[in-house]
Structure 1
Amino acid sequence: MEALEAPDETTTLRVLREIRPDLVDPYVRALPAARAGVMRRLLGALWREGIVDPRRLSASPQRQLYSTAPTTVTADGVAHTHPARLLEALRPTGHTDRLVRELDNSVANLALGLANTSANTSANGAAHDLVALEQSVVDGHPLHPCCRTRIGMSTADVLAYAPEHHPTVRLRIVEVDPARWRTAGAPRPPLLPVHPWQLDRALATGLVRDTGRDLPAAPLMSLRTLAPHDTPGEHLKTAVEVQMTSAVRTLSAAAVHNGPLASDLVATLAARTAGLRVLGETTTATVLDDHGDPQRALGAVWRQAPPPDAFVVPLAVLPHRPDLLTPAFFGRLVRLLLPPLFALLRDGVALEAHGQNTLVELRDGRPTTIWYRDLGGLHVHQPRLEGAGLPMPPLIGALPTDDEDELRTKLFAAALSTVLTELVHALAPEHTTTAWDTVAATLHTTVTDPDDRKACFADTWPLKATTAMRLADDPLDDLWCHIPNPLR
């Protein structure tokens, strides 16, 4: 089987000389910052996840975790400025060559995004426009060293489809035999929007027919989720067989089945709290093959968009907006965000409230409402849900869990270990202690379940071990590590 494309620095530079010579100099200038950005993430993972003996490294991964300066690391006496070369030298147990390839691709794509931003100074997220805000995030996941992998896409594909390059993406509408069309939620005619990168692969299955009709759209922070130009109240999640960070972004049968059910459940619980609203998945769809099996690469999700007149900001944008993220703003955000998240946890639903899925609405610069989207990653605990007076919906796959530790881990790893930790580190150092004091005080007054409260103030918090997962035989199996609890 032919390996999927994963352009490294050299390949990307060669392609730019051919198709975007205007980006060549900005790209070369951006490479040191891109290498340092991925190196910072890799060093953090080596420390958190126990991947290598830290005594082999000259730099303390803990000290480097949030550094943005160019990073040189000596491993076994040899200096490295490139994360992929560092990993090659360390050779940790597992699939090192696979991860090296991904790190090379991550650096190249991060440099490409930085180059395009420097070359296009008008492309910023200052406007109160959700698309502009989402496309302003150039560097991807804050902790994952594969923050900008697009395995399967060429350099030309990344320029054409990645949000940080501000393209218009023309989704293609394909027709599906009604007998092969399976939907959940509100019914829709058998017409499937297909990402243009996926189109040839979709047509090659023989299960869909090209209508020749296009749907222009803007990619959001998640490359495969787009805002159609003509339907401002709706977003579309598509299936693309491209690995971004840790997963190939297709749509499972469980995601299609669960989306509207999970949306209704979370909306019901959110209505009992103040400050949280859900962007529901109104319709999900997939295509069946000759055996009646849903095809992961042929699916779509129609999701509600935030109100077009509201100023709504994904939490992942805030570290890049010091004009918004002040200490006072952080305090108001914490007091708005944590109570509904822990109310839902108490009642049996753990949201995967990371920076891409969780948004805040602002009025006069003040946080007023939390919006949550993308229901595929939550966990639901039947005994807690029934204790809250709600029946367990017929969810399938990984969403249901009977393990309370697993339930808590889903929320803690996203909201506490990742989002709040990143936001605190984005503040000036003199505000760190006060910021964590605000988090602690809010949790003390918010969390009523004794086991949940105990976990909030335990010695450590859980975090997904994303780099160890990329080294593992099965990179899709969740692995977890633990970081020191800053509230201790």
Structure 2
Amino acid sequence: MIDENKQTHNAIIHMTSDEQACYATLCETNTQWAKAFEQYLMQGRDLVTARLIASIYRENLVEGYTHSHFIDHIQVPTSPIQHVDVLTIHFKQTSQVLCAPVKGHHAFNRIDVAGPFYWQQADHYERVMHPNDVLDVIIAEDNNYQGSAAEQFRDDLNNSACYMALAVSYQQMTYHNSTDTLLTTIEHQNDSYLASEQAVVEGHPLHPGAKLRKGMSPTETIAYSSEYGHAIPLRFVLIRRDHVRTQQLDKSFDTILFETFEGLQDACQTVLNTYQLAPADYHLMVVHPWQYTHILTTDYEAELAQQIMIPVDYTYDYYAGLSFRTLMPSFPDVSPHIKLSTNVHITGEIRTLSEQTTHNGPLITQILQDITAKDTWFAHVPTHAVAELAGVHFFSPTDTADVQERRSEQLGTLLRHNIYHNLDETDLPLIPSSLIVRMPQQGTSLIVELVNRYAQQQPEIEQHTAIQQWFSRYAGALIDYVMPLLIKYGIALEAHLQNTIAVFDKQDGLLKRMYIRDFEGLRIDTAQLNQMGYDTVHFHEKSRVLTNSQKSVFNKAFYATVQNHLGELVVALSDHYKIDGLEADLWYIVREQIQALFNTFRNSDMDPQRLQDIETIFFNPVIDYKCVTTMRLLDEAHAYTYIKVDNPLATNK
């Protein structure tokens, strides 16, 4: 191991155990990549540290916002940071001062920072070597964070920084000689949508656990993560029908699989004949190969021994999306996308698949399809929900309650419609997470490339206007679908960057259509949906999606759609174009589009008090913002923590 002699600003880099394991694996398999991993190790760490520092400021974690200042470090003779705008956070209990160069200030108290970062003591500056150096100070500042959740978060940051470096080094190594832009690279692929998912190598733009892969070895991370582009062999098992629960939209789960995967039905018949068992007594399930290897033979050993569960000698290659546990074929294969369970800790939680997800998906699909078919408002909205076709999860009738839930969530499968069925050769489908991504040697993100393509097609209008027109089309498609579902029906879709598919016109770069997917994290105001004529009695008895809290429903829609989705695009556009007032102009477009909805619904037969309540929240001077880092430190995966921040949609702006 040669980690002892690598230095940065006179500071020695000591590899963590995760980094050592990763480096050792690369040395055995790809020495070029091993060198790149060393080279970009600090960049990977800094990217995670940046997310953590931004969270301290935005969430006012340990009063980091309250005790912060912005200083022109060019005017500080001893500073190694030659930067005009530097955030300094003063930690009162430990007397530490953290210095972070600022890339931009944005709505919702959003601040973007970029490494290297430094600790300052008088005229002395010491490089921040790892995100856990910052976490140590957070914990020392407030003893409320001195617990098991914080220690787990420490492990998470170790793991996340390691795999961020792995992803960044792979991208740099792969594309360092490429002169193609990201848009050109994606358009040259047979499957532009899959390519766009694989392009998001840095993961969640705000979460410190963006590249977390706890539970997997470096070899498995490379094999199964989307950015490395490897084919993943789906595994299949037969489970006795008294040990599964299923749900479907139209066709049954097994029918869809047998129609999709050639030879699968014959493979099932062969294994059943071996044991002299009847096909009618068994049900199929798809299993992620990681889950198949690590979980099936340990947690379901008894079921395997008794032929309650029978592996099928059949595999089929799919590819991981950004969501990791959602896998898809490569076009021109238009088979369903498949969401699977994996006992791997990713971002903020272990990504198993809840019973409610496989059960409720087809039911929610049916409701959304009925609403958009009958409600004339949606007739001209170019946005649709991606149908969840069928789901299944393991269910042992003899398990105790706590064991039953764990084992059910470890084995589940959800089939989702493939939107390539709805596209033609003029369409360019992209995951919006990729819009804020660029190639390593390029300074232009994908969203800017699309806007510039549109501007080139409209030479008679100025750039500022072209940006606004492009953004207005995009924002309108999202708002006109998500907000009426919230306002009229009490359905808050989780329409963030990762849960959306944006389809652009290849020629002019403008949005044509939008698809919103994944109903696991949405929220439904049960009383409002029931009042609109939709029954929820058939939803899963453990459904977290159903709630009587209007606030949680409003927060879900606003955070995912406005703060996360549109907010990230506003940041990317305003950061690049540097046009005075551009960010305010883009938020004005969002405000006007949402306000227009309220004006329309005010003239309908909707409850005026409900309209007033929602409008007051949406346009209030301050708004709730989800505290992703505070939630991790307090171990609140589902009980969300919020802080009040300035609202760019406020009507007094």
TM norm structure 2: 0.70
- Per the TM alignment, residue 400 of structure 1 is displaced from its structure 2 partner at its CA by 1.0
- Per the TM alignment, residue 147 of structure 1 is displaced from its structure 2 partner at its CA by 0.6
Query: Which residue does 2:436 correspond to in 1?
Result: 319
| Letter paired with 1:316 | S
Query: Which residue does 2:471 correspond to in 1?
Result: 330
Query: Which residue does 1:176 correspond to in 2?
Result: 239
1:80-479 equivalences in 2 (<5 Å) = 80-91=128-139, 92=142, 93-94=144-145, 95-121=149-175, 124-126=185-187, 127=189, 129-185=192-248, 186-189=251-254, 190-200=283-293, 201-204=295-298, 205-206=300-301, 207=303, 208-229=309-330, 231-271=333-373, 272=375, 273=378, 274-291=381-398, 293=404, 295-308=408-421, 309=423, 310-320=427-437, 321=446, 322-325=448-451, 327=467, 328-346=469-487, 347-363=489-505, 364=507, 365-392=509-536, 394-396=538-540, 397-427=543-573, 428=576, 429-430=578-579, 431-447=582-598, 448=601, 449-479=611-641
User: Could you list the runs of 5+ residues in structure 2 that have no partner in the other structure?
Assistant: 1-15, 65-89, 92-96, 255-282, 304-308, 438-445, 453-466, 602-610
- Per the TM alignment, residue 334 of structure 1 is displaced from its structure 2 partner at its CA by 0.9
Mapped to 1, the partners of 2:186 and 2:557 lie a distance apart of: 28
Mapped to 1, the partners of 2:130 and 2:196 lie a distance apart of: 30
- Per the TM alignment, residue 8 of structure 1 is displaced from its structure 2 partner at its CA by 2.7
Which is further off, 466-475 or 414-423?
466-475
Distance change >3 Å, CA 381–CA 10, structure 1 → 2: same
Would you say the 8 A contact 1:58–1:73 is kept in 2?
Answer: yes
- Per the TM alignment, residue 412 of structure 1 is displaced from its structure 2 partner at its CA by 0.8
Which is further off, 25-34 or 40-49?
25-34
Query: Which residue does 1:3 correspond to in 2?
Result: none
Mapped to 2, the partners of 1:479 and 1:391 lie a distance apart of: 30
1:164 match: secondary structure:
helix
Distance change >3 Å, CA 487–CA 76, structure 1 → 2: farther
| Letter paired with 2:99 | A
2:409 match: secondary structure:
strand
Which is further off, 455-464 or 385-394?
385-394
1:107 match: secondary structure:
helix
TM norm structure 1: 0.92
Would you say the 8 A contact 1:171–1:196 is kept in 2?
Answer: yes
1:103 match: secondary structure:
helix
Would you say the 8 A contact 1:73–1:80 is kept in 2?
Answer: yes
Mapped to 2, the partners of 1:159 and 1:281 lie a distance apart of: 28
Mapped to 2, the partners of 1:263 and 1:146 lie a distance apart of: 31
- Per the TM alignment, residue 71 of structure 1 is displaced from its structure 2 partner at its CA by 3.1
Of structures 1 and 2, the larger Rg is shown by 2
Would you say the 8 A contact 2:101–2:117 is kept in 1?
Answer: no
| Letter paired with 1:305 | N
Would you say the 8 A contact 1:32–1:70 is kept in 2?
Answer: no
Which is further off, 226-235 or 426-435?
226-235
| Letter paired with 1:202 | L
| Letter paired with 1:164 | E
1:30 to 8, 22, 40: 40
- Per the TM alignment, residue 425 of structure 1 is displaced from its structure 2 partner at its CA by 0.7
User: Could you list the runs of 5+ residues in structure 1 that have no partner in the other structure?
Assistant: 1-5
Mapped to 1, the partners of 2:587 and 2:133 lie a distance apart of: 36
Would you say the 8 A contact 2:54–2:113 is kept in 1?
Answer: no
Would you say the 8 A contact 1:88–1:96 is kept in 2?
Answer: no
Mapped to 2, the partners of 1:180 and 1:242 lie a distance apart of: 24
Would you say the 8 A contact 2:101–2:113 is kept in 1?
Answer: no
- Per the TM alignment, residue 141 of structure 1 is displaced from its structure 2 partner at its CA by 0.8
2:253 match: secondary structure:
coil
Q: Deviations over 1:401-442 (max 9, x none)?
A: 122111101111111111111111101332212211211211
- Per the TM alignment, residue 68 of structure 1 is displaced from its structure 2 partner at its CA by 5.7
Mapped to 2, the partners of 1:153 and 1:455 lie a distance apart of: 42
Mapped to 1, the partners of 2:17 and 2:310 lie a distance apart of: 31
RMSD: 2.4
1:125 match: secondary structure:
helix
1:470 match: secondary structure:
helix
Mapped to 2, the partners of 1:388 and 1:182 lie a distance apart of: 29
Distance change >3 Å, CA 403–CA 302, structure 1 → 2: same
Mapped to 2, the partners of 1:76 and 1:393 lie a distance apart of: 61
Q: Deviations over 1:367-420 (max 9, x none)?
A: 122201111111111332244343345323211112211110111111111111
Would you say the 8 A contact 1:270–1:344 is kept in 2?
Answer: no
Q: Deviations over 1:425-484 (max 9, x none)?
A: 101332212211211211221234222222221122323222112111454432223332
Q: How much identity, in percent, do the aligned residues show?
A: 25
| Letter paired with 2:389 | T
Distance change >3 Å, CA 376–CA 145, structure 1 → 2: same
Would you say the 8 A contact 1:125–1:135 is kept in 2?
Answer: no
Mapped to 1, the partners of 2:414 and 2:435 lie a distance apart of: 27
Distance change >3 Å, CA 173–CA 231, structure 1 → 2: farther
- Per the TM alignment, residue 352 of structure 1 is displaced from its structure 2 partner at its CA by 0.8
- Per the TM alignment, residue 79 of structure 1 is displaced from its structure 2 partner at its CA by 4.5
Mapped to 2, the partners of 1:349 and 1:393 lie a distance apart of: 16
Distance change >3 Å, CA 470–CA 7, structure 1 → 2: farther
In terms of fraction of residues, the more helix-rich structure is 2
Would you say the 8 A contact 2:100–2:118 is kept in 1?
Answer: no
Mapped to 1, the partners of 2:311 and 2:111 lie a distance apart of: 47
Tell me the number of residue pairs that the alignment of Structure 1 and Structure 2 aligns: 483
Which is further off, 132-141 or 309-318?
309-318
